[in-house]
Chain A
Amino acid sequence: MADAKSFLAQELTKFFEAAWLDLPAEAGKILLGAGDEKELRKAGWKTYDAWVSLANEVTNAVYSDRIIGEVTGRVMESALRLRQIGGAMTAAFFGNLWPSIGLPTHSEIVAVRDELLALREEMAAYAARLPMSDDAAADHAPNTLGRISESARLNGYRATNGNGSAARSAHQGKRHVAA
Chain B
Amino acid sequence: MSLLSDVASFWMEGAMRTLEAFGQGYGSPQTDPPATTPYQVVYEGGMLRLRHYQPLERRHKTPLLIVYALIKRPFILDLQPGKSVVESLVRQGFEVYLTDWLPPARKDSWRGFDAYVNGDIADAVRVLQIREGVEQLNLMGYCLGALLTLLYSSLHPDNVKNLITLTVPFDMGVRDLPFYNLVDFVSDDAAELVTRIYGNCPAWMVNGSFNLMAPIHHAFDKYVGRYRNGPREGYAEMFELFEHWMRSDMPLAGQIYREMHQLIFKRNALKNGELRIADEVVDLGRVTCPLLNVVAEHDDVVHPRSSSGLLDHVGSEDKRNVSFPTGHIGAVVSAGAIGKLWPQVGQWLAERDQ
Contact = CB atoms under 8 A, between A and B. Distances in A.
Interface stretch (A12-20, A48-56, A123-131, A132-140): A48-56
A148 interface: yes
A149 B45 contact: yes
A69 B114 contact: no
A164 B46 CA distance: 12
B182 A63 contact: yes
Query: Contact size class for B?
Result: 35 or more
A76 interface: yes
Given A60-B178, A153-B45, A167-B279, A173 B186 contact: no
Interface in B105-160: 110-112, 114-115, 118-119, 122-123, 125-127, 129-131, 135, 155-156, 158-159
B344 interface: no
B216 interface: yes
B129 A69 contact: no
Nearest to B130: A148
A164 B221 contact: no
Contact of A52 (B181, B185, B194, B221): B221
B61 interface: no
A98 interface: no
Interface in A112-155: 145-146, 148-150, 152-153
Contact of A174 (B130, B156, B215): B156
B189 interface: yes
Interface string A62-78: 01100001101100110
A172 interface: yes
A70 B182 CA distance: 8
A156 B190 contact: no
Chief secondary structure at chain B's binding surface: helix
B197 A168 contact: no
A171 B127 contact: no
B223 to A, nearest CB: 12
B228 interface: yes
Given A146-B43, A153-B46, A173 B182 contact: no
A170 B193 contact: no
Nearest to A61: B178
A106 B42 CA distance: 36
Nearest to B175: A64
A45 B46 CA distance: 50
Contacts of B119: 157, 161, 164
B184 interface: yes
B190 A172 contact: no
A156 B111 CA distance: 16
A152 B121 CA distance: 12
Contacts of A48: 224
A24 interface: no
A60 B111 CA distance: 34
A173 B216 CA distance: 46
Interface of B: 42-43, 45-46, 110-112, 114-115, 118-119, 122-123, 125-127, 129-131, 135, 155-156, 158-159, 178-179, 181-182, 184-187, 189-190, 193-194, 196-197, 214-217, 221, 224, 228, 255, 278-280
Closest 8 CB pairs of A and B: A73-B185, A153-B45, A63-B178, A69-B185, A60-B178, A80-B193, A170-B155, A164-B110
23 contacts: A55-B216, A59-B178, A63-B182, A64-B181, A73-B190, A80-B190, A80-B193, A81-B193, A145-B43, A145-B127, A145-B131, A149-B45, A152-B123, A157-B115, A157-B118, A157-B123, A161-B114, A164-B112, A167-B279, A170-B118, A171-B156, A172-B118, A174-B158
